[in-house]
């Protein structure tokens, strides 16, 4: 830039008007990227927010910078309800009619959706800017794929054009754990959809899934959604009958089509069953040694100490259940006259079951997970539909009952891409392969079908009626497995391969896709896999398995494991007993769970 204009610009920038004034002048005159211009413009508002709301931390989502606050506890279900309540309270204070839009049949959606008419957009945005300005709440424009394409803080003041005109907005709070980790971000919150009158919508919107090329002619003063939903994108006057959906805050208004349970919505109870033992307990170890001579015909790794060693995984598995699977009715913990020191056996919704409560007396003591699985359906009060967890299986993000069952009761089975292999069981192959091959013979004998695939190490959906049916038929392999104290090449896998394929063969289950990650303790890629999980890998479940790990490898791997688990699941579940404080001292932080001493 030369000449008088350039000299004038240099003079104006250099004038003693202050650094802030110079920045604003440059922002007007130079072609800076939009993100930097926006950062300069919103800086004063963000400084005021930090001063008014102590404890905020800056969080980045790609190029978007927001603020989050550390929360004292977290479950996805509570976050969903809180974000919904914020929006409902806002709209009720404004007097704007709104309605709850169906988010899907029990899939564990991380947010709720509220619809309002497009004519109220200006009033909604104006009031939200006033009400949420001091809360560090965010607002984002939602794209066709359901992801936020642009976001800002309500405290920023006037919103960018992309947000002011967005057909769907998402608003919520960024919740952080004690280490600054994001527990809920832009994938959560509550969506506000701006529905338009039919006369204002051009013919054949791309998202429309109901008939009608000319909306004004066919539907008259219908309300038309800005995107697809599970029920209907068009609400003619006849369908707008007031109704309510019961949520935590009480009845939330909606229209009748969105209040009815869908054909695939899970309306039945679902329980969870965990199996656990502490192999380092001297009493259990002595019992195991006393019966070890009866262990034969299978590789030593299948009956070695790592099969019974507890790394406190159960504590974190229960935390993951409480954080991300709020639909579970009751938890049953199956164990051998043991309790973890940290467990509260009287916690609401928890029942402890001893092996002697479900297994025949002549089958005890038992050190074989297959034998225990063969009798889980004898748990008193267990629901027809339940989930079976090993204690090293974790939930990674919000899930619903619809992940595991269809609304008609059919189970959704997590088959693995790995195959059982051909030929008879072999002592040197993994026990699941041998057990799966034996289950294959059972399925072929009773149903004339040949099975090929193993099951994933995920929560296993179970049908009580399937297990009872197989037991009533006197299947020899199943009876032998129930009396098999240690793993054997003669076992079947009752809760996985056998149950799953029997249910499929009888029309009570179908294969389903599960997003899953397997991590083996002490392997060279363990850290890489844990890092991917910690950074928010797009999966539903993961397994942290210990397979015949040497003491040296285990001691090196456990600190890494505990660091990961404490960051991933930082808050105690209600299944954990309060930690007593030493005399004269304040109670210790319940978030400080170090590796248990041995």
pTM beyond 0.85: yes
Q: Output the DSSP codes for 180-209.
A: S-EEE-TTSSEEEEEEEEGGGS-SS-TT--
What pLDDT was estimated at residue 144? 87
Most confident of 13-17, 20-24, 65-69, 545-549: 65-69
Q: Output the DSSP codes for 470-504.
A: HHHTT-HHHHHHHT-SS--TT---IIIIIHHHHHH
CB atoms within 10 A of CB 544: 26
Domains of the chain in start order, with CATH, are: 68-259 (no CATH), 270-400+457-484+515-568 (3.90.550)
Question: 588 near 579, Cβ under 8 Å?
Answer: yes
Mean pLDDT, rounded, for 464-472? 98
- Is residue 37 predicted with pLDDT exceeding 70? no
Mean pLDDT, rounded, for 316-325? 98
Question: 491 near 434, Cβ under 8 Å?
Answer: yes
Between strands 112-117 and 223-224, the pairing is unpaired
What pLDDT was estimated at residue 217? 52
Residues 6+ apart with CB under 8 A from 463: 384, 385, 409, 411, 499, 503, 508, 509
Confidence of residue 40 (pLDDT cuts 50, 70, 90): confident
Confidence of residue 401 (pLDDT cuts 50, 70, 90): very high
């Amino acid at each position: 830039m030369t000449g008088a204009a350039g000299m004038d610009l240099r003079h104006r920038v250099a004038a003693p008007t202050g650094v802030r004034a110079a920045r604003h002048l440059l922002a007007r005159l130079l072609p800076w990227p939009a993100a930097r211009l926006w950062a300069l413009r919103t800086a004063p508002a963000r400084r005021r927010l930090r001063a008014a709301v102590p404890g905020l931390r800056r969080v980045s989502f790609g190029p978007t910078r927001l603020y989050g606050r550390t929360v004292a506890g977290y479950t996805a279900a509570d976050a969903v309800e809180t974000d919904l309540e914020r929006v409902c309270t806002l709209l009720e204070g404004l007097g704007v009619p709104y309605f709850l839009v169906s988010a899907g049949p029990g899939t564990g959606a991380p947010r709720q959706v509220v619809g309002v008419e497009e004519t109220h957009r200006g009033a909604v945005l104006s009031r939200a800017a006033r009400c949420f300005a001091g809360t560090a709440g965010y607002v984002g424009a939602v794209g066709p794929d359901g992801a936020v394409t642009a976001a800002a803080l309500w405290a920023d003041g006037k919103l960018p054009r992309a947000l002011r005109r967005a057909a769907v907005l998402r608003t919520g709070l960024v919740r952080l754990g004690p280490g600054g980790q994001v527990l809920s971000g832009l994938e959560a919150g509550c969506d506000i959809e701006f529905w338009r009158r039919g006369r204002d919508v051009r013919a054949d919107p791309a998202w429309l899934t109901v008939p009608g090329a000319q909306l004004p002619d066919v539907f008259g003063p219908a309300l038309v959604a800005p995107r697809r939903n599970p029920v209907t994108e068009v609400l003619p006057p006849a369908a707008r009958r007031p109704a309510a959906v019961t949520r935590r805050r009480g009845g939330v208004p909606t229209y009748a089509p969105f209040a009815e349970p869908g054909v695939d919505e899970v309306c039945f109870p679902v329980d969870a069953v965990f199996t656990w033992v502490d192999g380092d307990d001297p009493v259990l170890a002595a019992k195991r040694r006393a019966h070890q001579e009866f262990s034969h015909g299978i590789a030593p790794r299948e009956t070695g100490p790592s099969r019974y060693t507890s790394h406190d995984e159960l504590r974190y598995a229960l935390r993951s259940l409480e954080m991300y699977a709020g639909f579970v009715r009751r938890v049953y913990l199956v164990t051998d006259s043991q309790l973890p020191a940290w467990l509260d056996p009287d916690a609401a919704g928890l029942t402890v079951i001893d092996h002697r409560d479900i297994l025949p007396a002549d089958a005890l003591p038992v050190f074989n997970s297959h034998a225990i699985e063969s009798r889980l359906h004898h748990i008193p009060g267990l629901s027809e539909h339940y989930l079976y967890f090993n204690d090293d299986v974790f939930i990674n993000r919000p899930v619903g009952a619809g992940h595991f069952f269809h609304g008609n009761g059919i189970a959704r089975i997590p088959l693995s891409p790995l195959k059982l292999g051909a030929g008879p069981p072999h002592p040197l192959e993994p026990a699941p392969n041998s057990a799966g091959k034996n289950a294959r013979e059972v399925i072929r004998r009773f149903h004339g079908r040949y099975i090929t695939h193993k099951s994933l190490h995920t929560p296993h959906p179970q049908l009580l009626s399937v297990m009872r049916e197989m037991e009533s038929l006197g299947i020899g392999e199943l009876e032998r497995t129930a009396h098999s104290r240690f793993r054997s090449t003669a076992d079947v896998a009752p809760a996985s391969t056998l149950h799953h394929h029997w249910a499929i063969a009888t029309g009570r289950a179908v294969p389903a896709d599960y997003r899953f990650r397997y991590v083996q303790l002490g392997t060279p890629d363990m850290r890489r896999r844990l890092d991917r999980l910690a950074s928010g890998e797009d999966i539903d479940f993961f397994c942290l398995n210990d397979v015949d790990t040497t003491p040296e490898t285990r001691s090196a791997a456990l600190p890494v494991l505990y660091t990961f688990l404490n960051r991933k699941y930082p808050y105690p579940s209600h299944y954990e007993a309060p930690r007593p404080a030493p005399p004269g001292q304040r109670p210790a932080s319940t978030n400080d769970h170090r590796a248990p001493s041995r």
